Amino acid sequence: MARETRAERRQRTREELVASAMRLFAERGVASTSVEAIAETAGYSRGAYHSNFETREEILDAVVAQVVGTLGPELVAVLRGEGGVLDRLAAYVREFLQYCARRPVETRALVAVVAHRAAAAADVYDELVAASLTDVVALLEEGQRTGELRRFDLVMMASMFRRTLDAEGLRVAHGAPVDAVSDELVATFCRATRSAP
């Protein structure tokens, strides 16, 4: 077996620290998780933590990047896929909530980071939400353009959709039945956005 290079060891250490932070954020929240706890849980010293992350924000960013990196492309593919706008909106809801059911630790950690940032600076949370809405707004706009969806404020509806989905994703991550939650959200948002027959 080949020995790890220094760069490989550093990368493994960083990944293990991020995994530790994710577990602890999911269990305790961000504010209740110390640098020492993250390092100790991963089996490293505080020095190993600081050689990988200069600030607390860096590890928060790394946790977000890991979750978004695995989930984001799947959601974008659904939104840009085939079918009508409401079909793609429904598929987006189901894909997101299935992820929350499959990956509850990652989901709870992401929500903990977002909640921490919202409490620390509401404008940062608003920026995070706005950044996550771009593709949803584009889908809703397409639906209005084709007549599948009624007229409404695109950003407001996308924001309500995202915030509701995040809250229900957290419930699913805590064990709520994913199919029942998905069905209800799909029905609610389809009724709220569909053009009158």
Residue 11 sits in a domain whose CATH number is 1.10.10.60
Domain boundary residue, one of 17, 37, 54: 54
Question: Residues 38, 82: one domain?
Answer: no
pLDDT at 7: 86
133 in Cβ contact with 77 (< 8 Å): no
18 in Cβ contact with 66 (< 8 Å): yes
Question: Residues 5, 61: one domain?
Answer: no
pLDDT at 141: 96
Domain boundary residue, one of 19, 38, 54: 54
Question: Residues 9, 23: one domain?
Answer: yes
Question: Residues 30, 123: one domain?
Answer: no
Cα three-residue angle 149-154-160, rounded to 5 degrees: 100
pLDDT at 129: 64
pLDDT at 127: 66
CATH of the domain at 119: 1.10.357.10
Question: Residues 47, 67: one domain?
Answer: no
Question: Residues 13, 67: one domain?
Answer: no
pLDDT at 72: 85
Question: Residues 70, 150: one domain?
Answer: yes
Question: Residues 61, 85: one domain?
Answer: yes
Question: Residues 35, 83: one domain?
Answer: no
Q: How far is CA 109 from the centre of its chain?
A: 9
Question: Residues 167, 124: one domain?
Answer: yes
Number of domains making up the chain:
2
pLDDT at 29: 94
Residue range 103-147, pLDDT digits in tens: 999 999 998 998 888 776 656 556 666 667 888 999 999 999 999
Question: Residues 134, 39: one domain?
Answer: no
Average pLDDT per consecutive 10 residues, the chain (197 residues; last block may be shorter): 82 94 96 95 93 92 90 88 94 96 95 82 63 86 97 93 92 97 97 90
User: Residue 194, SS3?
Assistant: strand
Question: Residues 155, 78: one domain?
Answer: yes
Give the domain range for residue 176: 57-193
Q: What is the DSSP string of 82-103?
A: SS-HHHHHHHHHHHHHHHHHH-
User: How far, in Å, are 21, 130, 163, 192 from residue 173 at the CA level?
Assistant: 17, 23, 15, 25
